[in-house]
């Protein structure tokens, strides 16, 4: 396997890495796992187990209604505290094919989405506003789709890490467009 041009930038819990591999341009964002969130998720699981086992272990017989409510509450708390840590999110730019977006979890699971070249119109740096904050995100404007596709779905890396990915996507799309127009130009010599 060939690896070229390793660039790494760290900021807070995110680390950006860029390298080329067999002609593919790979941009990766690594996310540090939060020990506090892991602890909270274990607390949620323990709370759920306690809620489920309380009706069986309790000496006083509890009514079925209150048992259901306590189990439901336990499920809700466990769900809120659930933590599926993301190890890294990567953008693999495959010349002439398209872009593959990957999410790698610490559990080993990998979620992949492939976007063909012809479907991508433009990469966009977008400012997202929530009721409590405002942050940058990188999205793809897709052909025949009303909604933008987020490139990094699970993480919010800083804009200085998004810019090189945005530029690489833009350069990739421009070069592919120029290649297509050169091929389709009448009277062009090959």
Interface pick for other proteins out of 68, 110, 128, 180 (rule CB under 8 A): 128
Which residue from 127, 137, 138 is spatially nearest to 99, judged by alpha carbons? 138
* Contact yes or no for 30/12 (Cβ under 8 A): no
What is the closest distance, in whole angstroms, from the C-beta atom of residue 147 to other proteins in the complex? 13
**How many chain residues interact with other proteins (CB under 8 A)?**
13
Give the DSSP H or E segment for 127: strand 120-129
What is the closest distance, in whole angstroms, from the C-beta atom of residue 188 to other proteins in the complex? 24
What is the closest distance, in whole angstroms, from the C-beta atom of residue 28 to other proteins in the complex? 20
By CB under 8 A, tell whether 129 contacts other proteins. yes
The secondary structure of 147-182, three-state, reads CCEECCCCCCCCHHHHHHHHHHHHHHHHHHHHHHHH
* Contact yes or no for 119/98 (Cβ under 8 A): yes
Give the residue with the Cβ less far from other proteins, 114 or 135. 135
Give the residue with the Cβ less far from other proteins, 65 or 131. 131
Q: Which stretch binds other proteins (CB under 8 A): 35-43, 76-84, 130-138, 180-188?
A: 130-138
Q: Exposed, middle or buried by CB within 10 Å (0-12, 13-18, 19+), for 8? A: exposed
Interatomic CA distance for residues 102 and 112, integer angstroms? 4
Scan residues 4-23 and list those touching other proteins (CB under 8 A): 12
* Contact yes or no for 18/3 (Cβ under 8 A): no
Give the residue with the Cβ less far from other proteins, 2 or 127. 127
DSSP letter (8 states) at residue 185: S
Interface pick for other proteins out of 131, 183, 188, 189 (rule CB under 8 A): 131
Give the residue with the Cβ less far from other proteins, 63 or 130. 130
By CB under 8 A, tell whether 164 contacts other proteins. no
Give the residue with the Cβ less far from other proteins, 126 or 174. 126
- Point out which residues bind other proteins (CB under 8 A): 12, 127-134, 136, 158-160
């Amino acid at each position: 396997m060939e690896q070229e041009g390793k660039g790494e930038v760290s900021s807070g819990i995110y680390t950006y890495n860029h390298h080329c591999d067999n002609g593919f341009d790979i941009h990766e964002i690594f996310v540090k796992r939060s020990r506090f969130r892991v602890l909270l998720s274990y607390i949620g699981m323990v709370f759920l187990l306690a809620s489920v086992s309380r009706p069986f272990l309790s000496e006083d017989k509890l009514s079925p209604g209150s048992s259901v409510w306590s189990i439901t509450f336990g499920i809700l708390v466990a769900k809120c505290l659930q933590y599926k840590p993301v190890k890294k999110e990567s953008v693999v730019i495959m010349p002439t094919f398209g872009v593959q977006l990957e999410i790698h979890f610490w559990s080993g699971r990998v979620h992949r989405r492939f976007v063909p070249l012809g479907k991508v119109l433009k990469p966009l740096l977008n400012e997202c506003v929530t009721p409590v904050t405002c942050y940058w995100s990188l999205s793809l404007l897709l052909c025949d789709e009303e909604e933008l596709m987020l490139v990094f779905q699970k993480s919010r890396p800083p804009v200085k890490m998004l810019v090189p990915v945005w530029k690489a996507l833009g350069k990739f799309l421009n070069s592919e467009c120029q290649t297509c127009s050169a091929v389709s130009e009448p009277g062009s010599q090959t």
